[in-house]
């Protein structure tokens, strides 16, 4: 049984971990672990790693600097003068990285499209908090990150880092500074960083550093990050990227022509035209083949497979009207004759030979021709650091694209073109792999749009994970007048409309497997936890009593089952937000079964102990080998029960299902300590991890 979860939310915390770890009499079950309601602290993880490698440098749980120096010998630079970028507030950044969050992501079904089927995700909220929340479930799962952060032009607004000096509780209070509609207010923590404000560059660096640091943990080992930037912070960004990702992982700086029209206002007239922007590219670790050459021409991909040979499909019919009329090219093949106005593309002998050689495939009764990858020899272009407009398109075109979808009242001055993003995506992801691409400064959601389009062109399976704060639209601005309250609303509406547009364009396209195209997305919003948090700074006995009373039921008022379910998935499950969820009921108790594939197959097959079960976690397939008898039961799944009453009958059902982990509410045992103790004992002997919240 894999125990060791920390007590996170409730009063057991008072007893401390020491008491919890004390040896217990043989035959007596330990109490179930409580779900840790906090996000992962990357420093803590690093410290654990260090402890494994250098146990000798730890004294009473803390790192002894002198001992570390001795262990590393000459590897340690003890010179006070050293190379590196420093700014006002840099040390604070590390405190922020370390601070955990208890916030959660609440599902918003009404704003989503195909919530239960889609694997695309949009999260509304401050990306620092969101990155922290995702540390547990998305660590090493993201194949590519593309971000387009504020360039720090003097007109950009972002979360102001000077506020970080507050105490955590004040910060949380302040995070609640919202207007009646729940929007962030400008006098809260979202402010403009103008050039005459003190610490102009430091503010930007302090905003960026913790986000990039946390983002790195989410990247897969073979993952790549692309960061767009302008002249303003280009040199500073390079320094912090080198520091966080390592100079040796720098893959290049792409320069692309963002504007073709000259700017003739203000001082722009008196300096060279700044028509280019940059994209820094870093890999997480060296991996051969991380970066691919680009397929020239039509971005051909080969989505179909015939005995291991990849192929694409194209039409083999032509118009049979006007100058194209050829009566000898209208003939019957395998019971099919081209309809009026159409003919075969070649003569009868050629078509029959192609058919004989396996080059013709019928889909929905229509003939198509197969082009095999190994025969076509697609041409590949090197990826050049100077990106031609053909590969990137321009910002002006990006804005026109957005106009086409939302009308011209979206209020965005600069929008990235989908072509730029899709070229970057193609360079390091494969259409057939289920790669996740993240953008945590997603603005109008160009990245989501680019991925849906790319998938539709190539029968791809890439998924997006976009994060955007609810930045309020200016009340006198065009977007507000057009009905958008926040930039996040603009992003969500773009995804909805782009999805519909692509679907329409795909209608009638037989070369494409429409059922596989994911044009939906799940919306989540950053919110406070659904569970009451145990205050660590209780000072008086009265406060303690009040806290104990509050914790008789630690579920906050108004917390919905699905809200709690996703919070538990994020904080205490090995699955991610795309886990397949099946709601079930047994003997009057409601519960959820989770598995990355259809949970009913995984669980049922598991309890019979007869089949080889595969469960998919992120991009890694986990195979559970078939074994005999009780031991052979497969448990690659979890059960979560949020019912407020649990019965013995239900506990027996869970034992029979034999999930890997079972989580339920502490209050579900009401005052029945005996049932709780027995459940803990039975779960332990059945090797089921048992957690309460």
The binding site for ligand SAM (CB under 6 A) comprises 126-128, 148-150, 158-159, 412, 415-416, 441, 443-444, 446, 467-469, 471, 487
**304 forms bridges with which residues in the sheet?**
311
Q: How far apart, in whole angstroms, are the C-alpha atoms of residue 498 and residue 404?
A: 10
Distance of closest approach, residue 395 Cβ to ligand SAM, in angstroms = 9
Cβ closest to ligand SAM, residue 194 vs residue 610? 194
Distance of closest approach, residue 107 Cβ to ligand SAM, in angstroms = 19
Distance of closest approach, residue 343 Cβ to ligand SAM, in angstroms = 45
Residue 32 is given by DSSP the state P
Distance of closest approach, residue 396 Cβ to ligand SAM, in angstroms = 13
Structure-token pair, residue 316: 């083999």
Radius of gyration of the chain (CA): 29
Distance of closest approach, residue 487 Cβ to ligand SAM, in angstroms = 4
Q: How far apart, in whole angstroms, are the C-alpha atoms of residue 103 and residue 170?
A: 15
Cα–Cα nearest to 624, from 612, 633, 616: 612
Q: How far apart, in whole angstroms, are the C-alpha atoms of residue 262 and residue 272?
A: 10
Report in angstroms the alpha-carbon separations of 75 from 58, 79, 247, 285: 19, 12, 18, 21
| Helical axes 648-657 vs 599-608, angle rounded to 10° | 90
Distance of closest approach, residue 443 Cβ to ligand SAM, in angstroms = 3
Q: How far apart, in whole angstroms, are the C-alpha atoms of residue 663 and residue 679?
A: 12
Cα–Cα nearest to 223, from 372, 428, 525, 16: 428
Backbone angles phi, psi at 184, to 5 degrees: -65, 145
Cβ closest to ligand SAM, residue 101 vs residue 572? 101
Cβ closest to ligand SAM, residue 447 vs residue 529? 447
* Cβ–Cβ under 8 Å, residues 688 and 654: yes
Cβ closest to ligand SAM, residue 32 vs residue 398? 398
Cβ closest to ligand SAM, residue 33 vs residue 489? 489
Cβ closest to ligand SAM, residue 193 vs residue 427? 193
Distance of closest approach, residue 518 Cβ to ligand SAM, in angstroms = 21
Cβ closest to ligand SAM, residue 444 vs residue 455? 444
Do β-strands 522-527 and 121-124 pair in parallel, antiparallel, or remain unpaired? parallel
Structure-token pair, residue 395: 């910002």
Q: Is 489 helix (H, G, I), strand (E, B) or coil?
A: helix
- What's the chain's length in residues? 693
Q: How far apart, in whole angstroms, are the C-alpha atoms of residue 12 and residue 33?
A: 10
Q: How far apart, in whole angstroms, are the C-alpha atoms of residue 442 and residue 465?
A: 9
Cβ closest to ligand SAM, residue 492 vs residue 691? 492
**Residue number of the CB atom closest to ligand SAM:** 443
Distance of closest approach, residue 468 Cβ to ligand SAM, in angstroms = 5
Cβ closest to ligand SAM, residue 240 vs residue 664? 240
Report in angstroms the alpha-carbon separations of 289 from 43, 249, 383: 31, 14, 13
Distance of closest approach, residue 403 Cβ to ligand SAM, in angstroms = 13
* HEC profile of 392-403: HCCHHHHHHHHH
Q: Is 465 helix (H, G, I), strand (E, B) or coil?
A: strand
Cβ closest to ligand SAM, residue 312 vs residue 419? 419
At which residue do the structure tokens 């034999």 appear? 658
Q: How far apart, in whole angstroms, are the C-alpha atoms of residue 592 and residue 566?
A: 11
Q: Which residues contact 237 (CB under 8 A, 6 or more apart)?
A: 208, 227, 229, 280
Distance of closest approach, residue 11 Cβ to ligand SAM, in angstroms = 34
Distance of closest approach, residue 253 Cβ to ligand SAM, in angstroms = 18
Cβ closest to ligand SAM, residue 192 vs residue 269? 192
Helix (H) or strand (E) holding 355: helix 348-356
Distance of closest approach, residue 129 Cβ to ligand SAM, in angstroms = 8
Cβ closest to ligand SAM, residue 247 vs residue 474? 474
Q: How far apart, in whole angstroms, are the C-alpha atoms of residue 94 and residue 37?
A: 21
């Amino acid at each position: 049984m894999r125990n060791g979860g920390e007590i996170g939310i409730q009063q057991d915390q008072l007893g401390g971990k020491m008491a919890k770890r004390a040896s217990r009499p043989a035959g007596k079950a330990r109490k179930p672990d409580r779900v840790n309601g906090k996000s992962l602290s990357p420093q803590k993880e690093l410290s654990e790693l260090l402890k494994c490698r250098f146990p000798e440098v730890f004294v009473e749980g803390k790192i002894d600097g002198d001992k570390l120096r001795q262990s590393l010998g000459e590897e340690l630079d003890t010179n006070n003068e050293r190379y590196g970028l420093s700014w006002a507030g840099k040390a604070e950044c590390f405190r922020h990285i370390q601070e955990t969050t208890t916030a959660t992501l609440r599902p918003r079904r009404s704003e989503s499209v195909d919530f239960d089927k889609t694997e695309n995700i949009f999260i509304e909220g401050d990306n620092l908090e969101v990155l922290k929340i995702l540390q547990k479930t998305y660590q090493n799962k993201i194949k590519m990150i593309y971000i387009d952060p504020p360039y720090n032009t003097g007109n950009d607004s972002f979360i102001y880092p000077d506020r970080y000096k507050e105490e955590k509780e004040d910060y949380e209070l302040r995070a609640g500074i919202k207007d009646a509609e729940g929007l962030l207010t400008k006098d809260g923590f979202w402010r403009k960083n103008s050039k005459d404000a003190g610490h102009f560059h430091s503010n930007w660096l302090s905003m960026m550093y913790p986000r990039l640091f946390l983002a790195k943990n989410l990247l897969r080992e073979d993952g790549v990050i692309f960061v767009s930037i302008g002249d303003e912070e280009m040199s500073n960004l390079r320094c912090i990227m080198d520091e966080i990702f390592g100079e040796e992982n720098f893959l290049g700086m792409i320069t692309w022509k963002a504007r073709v029209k000259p700017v003739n206002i203000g001082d722009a007239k008196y300096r060279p035209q700044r028509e280019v922007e940059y994209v820094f590219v870093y890999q997480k670790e060296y991996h051969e083949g991380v970066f691919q050459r680009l397929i020239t021409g039509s971005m051909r991909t080969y989505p179909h497979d015939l005995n291991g040979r990849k192929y694409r499909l194209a039409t083999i019919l032509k118009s049979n009207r006007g100058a194209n009329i050829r009566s000898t090219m209208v003939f019957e093949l395998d019971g099919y004759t081209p309809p009026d106005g159409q003919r075969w593309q070649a003569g009868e002998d050629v078509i029959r030979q192609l058919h004989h050689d396996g080059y013709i495939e019928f889909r929905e009764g229509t003939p198509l021709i197969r082009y095999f990858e190994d025969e076509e020899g697609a041409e590949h272009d090197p990826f050049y650091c100077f990106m031609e407009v053909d590969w990137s398109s321009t910002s002006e075109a990006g804005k026109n694209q957005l106009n086409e979808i939302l009308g011209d009242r979206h209020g965005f001055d600069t929008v990235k073109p989908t072509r730029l993003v899709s070229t970057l995506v193609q360079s390091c992801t494969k259409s057939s792999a289920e790669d996740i691409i993240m953008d945590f400064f997603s603005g109008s959601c160009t990245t989501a749009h680019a991925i849906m389009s790319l998938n539709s062109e190539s029968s791809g399976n890439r998924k997006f994970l976009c994060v955007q704060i609810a930045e309020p639209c200016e009340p006198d601005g065009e977007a507000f007048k057009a009905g958008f309250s926040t930039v996040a609303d603009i992003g969500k509406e773009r995804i909805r409309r782009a999805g519909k547009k692509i679907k329409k364009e795909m209608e009638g396209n037989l070369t494409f497997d429409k059922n596989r195209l994911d044009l939906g997305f799940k919306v989540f919003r950053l919110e406070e936890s659904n569970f009451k948090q145990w205050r660590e700074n209780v000072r008086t006995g009265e406060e303690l009593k009040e806290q104990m009373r509050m914790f008789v039921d630690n579920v906050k008022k108004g917390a919905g089952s699905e809200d709690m379910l996703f919070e538990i998935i994020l904080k205490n499950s090995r699955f991610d937000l795309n886990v397949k969820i099946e709601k079930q009921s047994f003997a009057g108790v409601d519960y959820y079964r989770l598995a990355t594939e259809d949970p009913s197959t995984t669980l049922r097959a598991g309890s019979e102990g007869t089949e080889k079960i595969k469960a998919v976690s992120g991009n890694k397939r986990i195979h559970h080998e078939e074994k005999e008898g009780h031991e052979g039961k497969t448990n690659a799944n979890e059960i979560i029960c949020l019912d407020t009453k649990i019965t013995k009958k239900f506990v027996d059902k869970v034992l029979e299902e034999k999930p890997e982990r079972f989580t339920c509410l502490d209050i579900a045992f009401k005052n029945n300590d005996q049932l709780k103790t027995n459940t803990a004992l039975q779960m332990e002997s059945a090797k089921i991890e048992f957690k309460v919240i």
